[in-house]
């Protein structure tokens, strides 16, 4: 009887911990309902160093649910080029400590592509890039994440404080090739989320 009671308590604790763990992430965009407001910014079509061709919802790969955002790209190699997608929407992330997304390149893609998140914040619409990038691994989902807590050093030339977290106006995800590699093909983005 004592063993059974302990087993019930252990299962209850595990269930409660799992429920709490699940509640700590809020998926903002899972692309289960199409593009969900994401687009290629107009300026990126005018820049020769930006090589995204089009975007669409795809059911080929997903890190959560059954769909993701597919970006068709054409990285020529030999120079810096990027592919960017964004959403313009007001976010108050003051209750969250981290923003994250998952990025995937197919198994036959070359090594060397990187991904980063860019935020536009505040009344001045300040463009804030991450101070680091994440190496994409062919055939694997890679989580790209940035610390939103006051004092974070994950963002370039900005003081991360409550005002920063409370007034995010745009979010961009950029995949880039710094001279190498050359790659023509899809990049997938999914499970854009904030974490408590």
pLDDT in the model for residue 160? 87
Task: Fill in the DSSP letter of residue 155.
Answer: B
Q: Which helix (H) or strand (E) holds 11?
A: helix 2-23
The answer to whether the Cα torsion of 137, 183, 69, 89 is positive or negative is positive
CA atoms within 13 A on the CB side of 25: 14
CA distances from 130 to 119, 183, 194 (A): 8, 23, 16
Taking alpha carbons only, the member of 156, 164, 97, 165 closest to residue 132 is 156
Q: What stretches in the chain show pLDDT beneath 70?
A: 1-23
Q: Are 173 and 101 in contact (CB under 8 A)?
A: yes
Model pLDDT, residue 163 = 87
Neighbouring residues of 18: CB distance < 8 A, sequence distance ≥ 6: none
Q: What DSSP letter does each residue of 88-138 carry, written as one string?
A: EEEE--TT-SEEEEEEE--TTSPTT-EEEEEEEETTTTEEEEBS--EE--T
Q: Which CATH architecture has domain 27-195?
A: Sandwich (2.60)
**pLDDT for 6:** 39
Measured between its terminal Cα atoms, the distance across the chain in Å is 39
Pick left, alpha or beta for residue 186 (phi over 0 → left; psi -120 to 50 → alpha; otherwise beta). beta
pLDDT confidence of residue 159: 84
Contacts of 168 (CB under 8 A, 6+ apart): 90, 91, 92, 93, 119, 120, 121
- Which residues, other chains included, contact 79 with Cβ-Cβ below 8 Å and sequence gap of 6+? 49, 179
The token duo for 67 is 């769909």
Alpha carbon distances (Å) from 177 to 10, 21, 67, 90, 187: 48, 35, 25, 29, 12
pTM for the structure as a whole: 0.86
What pLDDT sits at residue 162? 85
What pLDDT shows up at residue 149? 93
The reported pLDDT for the residue numbered 158 is 85
pLDDT at residue 10 in the model: 41
């Amino acid at each position: 009887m004592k063993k059974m009671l302990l087993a019930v308590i252990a299962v209850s604790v595990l269930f409660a911990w799992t429920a709490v763990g699940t509640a700590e992430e809020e998926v903002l965009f899972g692309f289960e309902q199409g593009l969900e407001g994401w687009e290629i910014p107009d300026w990126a079509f005018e820049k020769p160093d930006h090589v995204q061709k089009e975007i669409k919802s795809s059911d080929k790969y997903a890190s959560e649910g059954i769909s993701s955002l597919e970006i068709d790209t054409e990285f020529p190699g030999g120079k810096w080029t990027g592919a960017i997608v964004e959403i313009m929407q007001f976010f108050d992330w003051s209750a969250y400590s981290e923003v994250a997304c998952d990025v995937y390149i197919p198994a036959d893609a070359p090594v060397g592509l990187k991904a980063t998140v860019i935020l536009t914040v505040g009344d001045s619409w300040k463009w804030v890039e991450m101070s680091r990038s994440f190496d994409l691994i062919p055939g694997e989902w890679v989580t790209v994440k940035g610390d939103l807590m006051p004092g974070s050093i994950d963002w370039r030339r900005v003081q991360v404080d409550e005002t920063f977290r409370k007034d995010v106006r745009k979010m961009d995800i950029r995949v880039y090739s710094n001279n190498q590699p050359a790659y023509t093909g899809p990049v997938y983005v999914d499970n854009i989320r904030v974490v408590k």
